[in-house]
C-alpha cells in the first residue's frame, strides 16, 4: 500500500469498520441484557404486588409493560397461548429481541461492507490502481443502495415486532411500498412480499460483493 493521502484515509476507514464490527456484538448483548432485566423486574413486581404508583416502580416496569402489550396484540399471541396453555408474552419478547438483534447485525454487516468498500476504493485510487478503484466504487455505491433499502425494511420490521418508531416506519413503508407490490405474486405467495423482497436484496448484495468487492 502507498502513502498517498487517499490510501492513508482508506486505511483509517478500514480501521473504523473493524472497530464498529467489534462493537456490534457488545451492543447486541447489552440490548438483550437490558430487555431481560426489564422483564425480570416486571415479573418480580407483579408477583410481589409492588406499588405500581411508585415513580421508581412505574418507570422501571413501563418499558417492559409496553413490550408485553405489543406482544399480546400480536397476531401470534393467541395461537401460541392456545398451543402452549400459558401466557407466552414474556417468551415472545425474548424471542423477538433475539430475532431483531440478529436482523440488525445482518443490516449492520452490509453497512460495514459499504464502509470497507469506501476504504478499499480510496486505497486502490491512492495506489494508482484506477480500474480496481472504480470497480470498488461501483460496488460500494450499489451496496449502499441495497443497504438503504434494507434499513428501511428493518424500521418496518422493528415497528411490526415492538411497535417502536411508528412514524419513521410509516415513512419507510411508503418508500418501499412500490417494491413490495412488485413481489406480491398472489396465490400461495400472497402476503410474502416483504420476505421475498428481503431475500432478493440479500441475493443482490451477495452478488455485488462477489463481483465488485472481492
Whole-number Å distance between alpha carbons of 186 and 14 = 44
Return the pLDDT at 45. Answer: 83
Q: Is 50 exposed, middle or buried (0-12, 13-18, 19+ CB in 10 A)?
A: middle
pLDDT tens, residue by residue, 27-61: 888 988 999 998 998 888 888 877 666 777 777 78
SS3 letters across 23-52: HHHHHHHHHHHHHHHHHHHHHHHHHHCCCC
DSSP 187: G
Place of cell 472504480: 134
pLDDT reading at 183 higher than 70? yes
Q: Write down the domain spans for the chain.
A: 5-212
Whole-number Å distance between alpha carbons of 110 and 94 = 25
pLDDT tens, residue by residue, 117-173: 999 999 999 888 999 999 999 999 999 999 999 999 999 988 888 877 889 999 999
Return the pLDDT at 2. Answer: 46
What's the N-to-C CA distance of the chain in angstroms? Answer: 17
DSSP 129: -
Percentage of the chain lying above the pLDDT 90 cut = 44
99-103: long-range pairs with CB below 8 Å, 24+: 99/161, 100/157, 100/158, 100/161, 100/162, 101/28, 101/31, 101/32, 103/154, 103/157
201, three cell numbers? 436484496
Range scoring the smallest mean pLDDT among 52-66, 105-119, 169-183? 52-66
Of residues 209 and 189, more confidently modeled: 209
Return the pLDDT at 168. Answer: 92
Amino acid at each position: 500500500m502507498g502513502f498517498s493521502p487517499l490510501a492513508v484515509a482508506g486505511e483509517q476507514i478500514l480501521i473504523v469498520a473493524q472497530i464498529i464490527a467489534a462493537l456490534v456484538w457488545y451492543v447486541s448483548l447489552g440490548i438483550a441484557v437490558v430487555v431481560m432485566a426489564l422483564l425480570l423486574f416486571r415479573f418480580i413486581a407483579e408477583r410481589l404486588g409492588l406499588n405500581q404508583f411508585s415513580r421508581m416502580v412505574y418507570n422501571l416496569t413501563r418499558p417492559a409493560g409496553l413490550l408485553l402489550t405489543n406482544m399480546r396484540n400480536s397476531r401470534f399471541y393467541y395461537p401460541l397461548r392456545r398451543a402452549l396453555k400459558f401466557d407466552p408474552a414474556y417468551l415472545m419478547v425474548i424471542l423477538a429481541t433475539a430475532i431483531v438483534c440478529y436482523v440488525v447485525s445482518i443490516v449492520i454487516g452490509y453497512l460495514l461492507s459499504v464502509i470497507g468498500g469506501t476504504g478499499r476504493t480510496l486505497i486502490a485510487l491512492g495506489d494508482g490502481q484506477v480500474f480496481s478503484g472504480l470497480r470498488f466504487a461501483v460496488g460500494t455505491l450499489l451496496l449502499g443502495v441495497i443497504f438503504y433499502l434494507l434499513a428501511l425494511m428493518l424500521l418496518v420490521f422493528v415497528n411490526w415486532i415492538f411497535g417502536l418508531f411508528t412514524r419513521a416506519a410509516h415513512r419507510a413503508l411508503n418508500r418501499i411500498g412500490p417494491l413490495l407490490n412488485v413481489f406480491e405474486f398472489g396465490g400461495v405467495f400472497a402476503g410474502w412480499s416483504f420476505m421475498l423482497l428481503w431475500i432478493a436484496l440479500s441475493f443482490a448484495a451477495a452478488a455485488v460483493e462477489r463481483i465488485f468487492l472481492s
